[in-house]
Amino acid sequence: MNVKIIGVGKLKEKYLKDGIAEYAKRLQKFAKFEVIEVPDEKAPEQLSQAQMDQVMAKEGERILSKIKDKEYVFALAIKGKERSSEELAAEIDKLALRGDSDLTFVIGGSLGLAPEVIARANTQISFGRFTLPHQLMRLVLTEQIYRAFMINQGSPYHK
């Protein structure tokens, strides 16, 4: 299985990089795992709706260029479906049994995901109504993917 996270912006904080690296190392026994960073679009602090749409569109193009046709895409979106850890694990297991072995999770930039990225996604996933920094979300998501594999293995890690 191949699992990929596409995130907008460069991760700068060492503690986040270290956490992601630790879970990435643990995930290696279950799947080929990679994190792809696409550049964020530089924009002024105060944006009009048209400028926001333009920023999201440019970031969206960069994201879509990293997704292949055969990939099953989870878009992280506030309006997405909330899942428990067990539900995510079951969904990953079901996808693997169905032959979907290329899973891609997409985390947008500070403005969210372009409509084109949402449209390309097979499903939308939400981690609740909290607003979290997208850099922190990469670590949380990586841990939850690892947790899903551990649940599917029957490991006590999940408890």
Is 76 known to sit in a ligand binding site? yes
Residue 50 within a domain: no
Q: Tell me the pLDDT tens digit for each residue of 110-159.
A: 899 999 999 999 999 999 988 888 899 999 999 999 999 999 999 988 66
Domain of 112 in residue numbering reads as 2-42+70-158
Residue 85 within a domain: yes
Residue 29 within a domain: yes
Residue 53 within a domain: no
57 and 109 in contact (C-beta within 8 Å)?
no
Residue 59 within a domain: no
Residue 18 within a domain: yes
- Closest by CA position to 118, among listed 128, 106, 102, 101: 106
- Closest by CA position to 123, among listed 95, 150, 143: 95
122 and 73 in contact (C-beta within 8 Å)?
yes
Q: How many domains does the chain have?
A: 1
* CATH code of the domain covering residue 106: 3.40.1280.10
Residue 49 within a domain: no
Q: Tell me the pLDDT tens digit for each residue of 67-121.
A: 999 999 999 998 999 999 999 999 999 999 999 999 999 999 989 999 999 999 9
pTM for this prediction: 0.95
Is 7 known to sit in a ligand binding site? no
Residue 154 within a domain: yes
